[in-house]
């Protein structure tokens, strides 16, 4: 959301650089459309109409130029504040769920708490699934049933259990990873209440499906996906896209031509990692994109983690004890762990800092949350069902005696962006300049000729 529809100088300069133009040239195209000339010094004074005309000349949405609210360092909400977000959902003719939203920055997807209200003697009505992958944890106080298909079997109908062992119940309950468009629904397994924490996060396919592919591109892309592993399709297209035939690749790498052809024809044929590396060195591409991968999952793509499975992962981490929640290599950004806090003798602690943003839900005990913003520390008292969102690369920690669930995702910084960072030349300089770049791309404005309006 823009801040009073005010132009961001860095964004405007970025697009002027992309379009290889300057303020002087931009003003030439705006002549007769707005009543004044724009410069770096009067951007705050521009009205909505002027901003729209600038966007029109640059051929971009207006939103690409507007200032946005800064992402906060952290957000905190008490149990009482979260309860005010309650919204009832009816399904199958009954009051089926209550939803509650955890704190999250503007325009971010947020985890939700869900009260499971469908009675145990009623088969819960399925939803239709959603594009976004998800991780879901059973919070109790009782077990619930989870359903994943019309036909019920041990994969599609299971008891979503909680941990009743008081010695280890900081690992609150079972969890599972859910792929895109996996049907799912829940009902009670007892006469008592049940609740889940579910994080349906943003999909990396969202922009590709909604903005980047036109219908012609999308339809042609879908047509070529016909049984061969998708990484092999893209590998083949990368080779062809760079103007190499299989015959030429075979000649340069000394890999048998028949072997290369079979690899791109059927999944049962293989190239070694060494051979893939050879081909990628010829076409100057990243071999990590094209290696065959295997994923731990069942027949419908989900991965269920019983509390026993989580407890097998129990380990010491910093000043805490943690145990993993279900996650999948199919979506590396979405993961989490159960967190046990036993820091009774520490007055201040900042031993956690992640490369991603993180959500915390307090599941028990009394604790204090410590966070460092710049050089200033802040302490917040925590109780059960309070929740926190913490931005990436922010020092924080917990003292006291209690437990939390931590969930991370890629909305603050995702693994695709991490890949880009790892491949960026002169990274520190690029980051510092890109953050506040107000420098034009090259030539003196007064020496530049008027450019083609079509860019």
Whether residue 303 lies inside any domain: the answer is no
pLDDT at position 208 is 86
Same domain, 80 and 190: yes
Whether residue 297 lies inside any domain: the answer is no
Same domain, 159 and 191: yes
Out of 17-26, 145-154, 308-317, 319-328, least confident range? 17-26
Same domain, 180 and 269: no
Residue 144: burial class (beta carbons within 10 Å; 0-12, 13-18, 19+): buried
The model's confidence at residue 374, banded by pLDDT at 50, 70 and 90, is confident
pLDDT at position 1 is 46
Same domain, 95 and 156: yes
Same domain, 144 and 37: no
Average pLDDT for residues 327-349, to the nearest whole number? Answer: 94
- CATH number, position 279: 1.10.260.40
Whether residue 294 lies inside any domain: the answer is no
pLDDT in tens, 184-216: 999 999 999 999 999 998 888 988 888 788 999
Out of 82-91, 132-141, 368-377, 430-439, least confident range? 430-439
pLDDT in tens, 52-111: 999 999 999 999 999 888 899 999 999 999 999 999 999 999 999 999 999 999 989 999
Whether residue 280 lies inside any domain: the answer is yes
Element (H, E) at 387: strand 387-390
| Domain count along the chain | 4
Average pLDDT for residues 377-390, to the nearest whole number? Answer: 97
Question: Encoding tokens for residue 166?
Answer: 């008081």
Question: Which residues have CB under 8 Å from 35's CB, separation 6+?
Answer: none
Residue 450 reports pLDDT greater than 70? no
pLDDT in tens, 396-442: 999 999 999 999 999 999 999 999 999 999 999 999 888 887 766 66
Domain range enclosing 234: 230-289
Whether residue 302 lies inside any domain: the answer is no
- CATH number, position 120: 2.60.120.10
Alpha-carbon span 160 to 142, nearest angstrom: 9
């Amino acid at each position: 959301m823009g801040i009073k529809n005010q132009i961001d100088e860095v964004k405007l300069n970025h697009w002027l650089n992309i379009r290889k133009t300057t303020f002087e040239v931009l003003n030439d195209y705006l002549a007769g459309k707005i009543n004044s000339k724009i410069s770096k010094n009067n951007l705050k004074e521009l009205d909505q109409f002027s901003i729209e005309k600038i966007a029109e000349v640059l051929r971009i949405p207006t939103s690409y130029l507007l200032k946005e609210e800064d992402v906060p360092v952290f957000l905190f909400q008490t149990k009482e504040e979260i309860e005010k977000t309650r919204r009832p959902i009816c399904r199958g003719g009954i009051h089926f769920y209550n939803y509650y939203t955890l704190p999250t920055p503007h325009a971010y997807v947020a985890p939700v708490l869900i009260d499971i209200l469908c009675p145990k003697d009623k088969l819960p009505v399925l939803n239709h699934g959603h594009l976004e992958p998800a991780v879901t944890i059973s919070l109790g106080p009782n077990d619930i049933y989870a359903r994943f298909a019309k036909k019920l079997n041990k994969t599609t109908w299971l008891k979503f259990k909680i941990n009743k062992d008081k010695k280890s119940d900081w690992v609150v309950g079972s969890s599972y990873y859910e792929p895109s468009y996996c049907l799912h629904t829940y009902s009670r397994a007892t006469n008592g209440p049940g609740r889940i924490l579910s994080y349906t996060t943003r999909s990396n396919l969202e922009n590709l499906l909604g903005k980047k592919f036109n219908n012609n591109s999308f339809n042609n892309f879908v047509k070529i996906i016909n049984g061969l592993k998708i990484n092999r399709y893209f590998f083949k297209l990368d080779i062809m896209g760079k103007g190499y035939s299989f015959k030429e690749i075979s000649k340069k790498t000394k890999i048998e031509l028949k072997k290369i052809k079979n690899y791109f024809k059927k999944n049962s044929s293989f190239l070694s990692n060494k051979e893939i590396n050879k081909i990628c060195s010829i076409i100057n591409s990243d071999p990590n994109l094209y290696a065959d991968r295997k994923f731990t999952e069942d027949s419908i793509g989900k991965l269920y983690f019983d509390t026993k499975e989580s407890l097998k992962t129990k380990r010491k981490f910093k000043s805490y004890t943690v145990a993993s929640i279900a996650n999948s290599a199919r979506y590396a950004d979405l993961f989490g762990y159960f967190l046990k806090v036993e820091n009774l003798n520490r007055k201040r602690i900042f031993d956690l800092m992640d490369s991603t943003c993180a959500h915390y839900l307090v599941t028990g005990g009394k604790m204090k949350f410590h966070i460092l913003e710049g050089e200033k520390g802040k302490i917040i008292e925590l109780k059960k069902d309070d929740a926190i969102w913490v931005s990436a690369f922010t020092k924080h920690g917990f003292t006291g005696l209690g437990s939390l669930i931590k969930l991370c995702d890629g909305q603050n910084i995702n693994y695709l962006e991490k890949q880009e960072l790892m491949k960026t030349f002169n990274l520190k300089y690029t980051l510092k300049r890109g953050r506040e770049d107000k420098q034009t791309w090259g030539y003196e404005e007064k020496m530049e000729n008027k450019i083609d309006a079509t860019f």
